[in-house]
């Protein structure tokens, strides 16, 4: 026992000494006790001190079937007995081929080719480069089309290309001088509508879809110079789970086709069941020209990403070697066999366990359990799409005035939830809930109870 205590103390001293954490003000971190996770099982995480927590954000929106899912564990073990890594530059490997075929089988119908990488950021980066190069060199492309349309509140990752099409100033403004220009349209943040409108209910906007008229006006003006539009379909995740009004995505698809602009759907966060369908685009029967996938693609086990394209885009890269139409891009771990093996097992579990069909009941339960939140004094907006939830906390519900940032209200709420055994993460003052799809009804109830009490404790008595 003493041995374990000493070992844990050493670990905690070392984590403070050696690790620089992502998206973390390290001065604050240095003063805090860090939870060090050692094990997981289903939707439960266990730390080195033996404490258990519900994984309320699916290990950053990525875990699907729970931790230590037997079929996924086995897929990794079996593959490790064959080979852990071999390059996709000049060679192929068995899991990469099978995984690509499976992805195309489940993807929106127009998508036919798979380009692998290893994170959401690289999947988007690749999408941007493919769209740009396609316009430059394809017979059907247009060399004048060199720009991108992106959206306010967008998040597509942290590499320079994906930051260039991002729209969250807090994360992105400091890198301004390094970025390429993109043409930004106002995204539909209905709670704080940028056009000053309101919606009667979520399915029948009483507004006149000003966001779409705005999008069309921008496209009309810039179509001649725009290679592609980048969108997070249905939900802008990192901005605080901003759910787009019904019909928005379909309209955007129609406009892209009308104005000859490629549509890049970034399904990194929303893909693999999170919205209640395998892909968010399915809700509105949209097939994008390019789709970026990561996170849930490997069930949340290993870093894997894929950029899917239409056959037409792929054909735009064919030519004699000396024409240099090749897509000169690739990462060391592109198509990694271990990651692809677990991605195959992930997709098989979706089929074998009817995950999407069984999810409907959980989504309903979540919606029911969330209803009482709206009567809390400081819950301004409640947004849910599938298993994804954003609860926007405000100082004043009438004026929608936020709490001052130095109060760190969102952060204090999630720290309160931790004390009750729930791991969640805020986006500013939006509390995000996004458990693995494997979450049980009991766990949903517990997640909602703890979150409700934590919001009350911090905003009403804190």
Considering only the stretches 216-224, 262-270, 279-287, 430-438, report the one whose residues sit in contact with ligand PLP under the rule CB under 6 A: 262-270
With respect to ligand PLP, which residue has the nearer C-beta, 190 or 305? 305
Per-residue H/E/C for 226-269: EEEEEECCCEECCCCCEECCCCHHHHHHHHHHHCCCEEEEECCC
With respect to ligand PLP, which residue has the nearer C-beta, 212 or 238? 238
Question: Least CB distance from residue 122 to ligand PLP, whole Å?
Answer: 7
Give the one residue of 216, 232, 282, 392 binding ligand PLP; rule: CB under 6 A.
232
With respect to ligand PLP, which residue has the nearer C-beta, 156 or 456? 156
Give the one residue of 280, 294, 341, 448 binding ligand PLP; rule: CB under 6 A.
294
Whether 243 and 384 have beta carbons less than 8 Å apart is answered as: yes
Counting contacts by CB under 6 A, is residue 156 touching ligand PLP? yes
- Closest Cα to residue 290, out of 274, 271, 310, 319? 310
Question: Which residues pair with residue 231 across a beta bridge?
Answer: 265
- Closest Cα to residue 225, out of 160, 327, 125, 132? 132
Counting contacts by CB under 6 A, is residue 276 touching ligand PLP? no
Question: Least CB distance from residue 121 to ligand PLP, whole Å?
Answer: 3
Compute the CA torsion angle 103, 105, 107, 112 (nearest 10 deg). 80
Whether 458 and 413 have beta carbons less than 8 Å apart is answered as: yes
Question: Least CB distance from residue 321 to ligand PLP, whole Å?
Answer: 32
With respect to ligand PLP, which residue has the nearer C-beta, 120 or 167? 120
Question: Least CB distance from residue 237 to ligand PLP, whole Å?
Answer: 4
**E strand or H helix at 116:** strand 111-117
Binding to ligand PLP in span 385-404, by CB under 6 A:
none
Cα maximum dimension of the chain:
71
Question: Least CB distance from residue 294 to ligand PLP, whole Å?
Answer: 5
Binding to ligand PLP in span 90-149, by CB under 6 A:
119-121, 124
- Both tokens assigned to 350: 């979706």
Give the one residue of 266, 381, 429, 443 binding ligand PLP; rule: CB under 6 A.
266
Binding-residue pattern over the window 5 to 44 for ligand PLP, x denoting contact by CB under 6 A: ----------------------------------------
Counting contacts by CB under 6 A, is residue 268 touching ligand PLP? yes
- 324-333's contacts with Cβ under 8 Å and 24+ in sequence apart are 325/137, 327/115, 327/129, 327/130, 327/133, 329/115, 329/126, 329/129, 330/88, 330/89, 331/117, 331/118, 331/122, 332/87, 333/85, 333/118, 333/303
Binding site for ligand PLP (CB under 6 A): 119-121, 124, 155-157, 232, 237-238, 266, 268-269, 294
């Amino acid at each position: 026992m003493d041995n374990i205590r000493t070992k844990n103390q050493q670990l905690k001293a070392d984590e403070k000494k050696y690790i620089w954490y992502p998206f973390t003000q390290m001065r604050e971190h240095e003063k805090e006790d860090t939870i060090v996770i050692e094990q997981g099982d289903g939707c439960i995480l266990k730390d080195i001190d033996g404490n258990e927590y519900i994984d309320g954000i699916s290990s950053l929106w990525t875990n699907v079937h729970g931790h230590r899912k037997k079929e996924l564990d086995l897929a990794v073990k079996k593959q490790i007995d064959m080979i852990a890594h071999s390059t996709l530059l000049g060679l192929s490997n068995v899991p990469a081929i099978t995984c690509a075929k499976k992805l195309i089988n489940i993807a929106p119908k127009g998508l036919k080719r798979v380009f692998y990488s290893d994170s959401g950021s690289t999947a988007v980066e690749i999408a941007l480069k493919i769209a740009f190069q396609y316009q430059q060199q394809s017979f059907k492309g247009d060399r004048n089309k060199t720009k991108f349309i992106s959206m306010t509140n967008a998040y597509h990752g942290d590499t320079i290309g994906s930051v260039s099409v991002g729209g969250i100033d807090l994360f992105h403004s400091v890198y301004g001088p390094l970025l390429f220009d993109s043409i930004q349209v106002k995204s539909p943040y209905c709670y704080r509508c940028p056009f000053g409108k309101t919606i009667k209910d979520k399915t029948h906007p009483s507004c006149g879809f000003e966001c779409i008229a705005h999008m069309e006006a921008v496209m009309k003006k810039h179509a001649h110079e725009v290679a592609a539009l980048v969108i997070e379909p249905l939900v802008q995740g990192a901005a605080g789970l901003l759910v787009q009004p019904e019909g928005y995505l379909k309209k955007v698809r129609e406009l892209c086709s009308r104005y000859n602009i490629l549509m890049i759907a970034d399904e990194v966060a929303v893909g693999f069941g999170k919205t209640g369908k395998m892909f968010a685009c399915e809700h509105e029967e949209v097939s994008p020209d390019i789709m970026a996938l990561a996170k849930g693609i490997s069930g949340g086990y290993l870093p894997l990403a894929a950029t899917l394209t239409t056959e037409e885009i792929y054909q735009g890269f064919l030519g004699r070697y000396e024409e240099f139409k090749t897509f000169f891009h690739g990462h060391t771990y592109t198509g990694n066999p271990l990651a692809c093996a677990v991605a195959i097992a992930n997709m098989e579990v979706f089929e074998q366990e009817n995950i999407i069909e069984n999810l409907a009941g959980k989504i309903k339960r979540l919606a029911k359990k969330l209803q009482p939140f709206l009567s809390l004094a400081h819950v301004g907006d409640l947004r849910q799409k599938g298993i994804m939830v954003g609860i926007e906390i405000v100082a004043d519900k009438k004026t929608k005035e936020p709490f001052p940032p130095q109060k760190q209200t969102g952060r204090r709420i999630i720290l309160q939830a931790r004390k009750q055994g729930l791991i969640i993460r805020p986006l500013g003052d939006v509390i995000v809930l996004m458990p693995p799809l494997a979450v049980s009804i009991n766990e949903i109830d517990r997640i909602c109870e703890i979150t409700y009490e934590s919001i009350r404790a911090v905003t009403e008595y804190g």
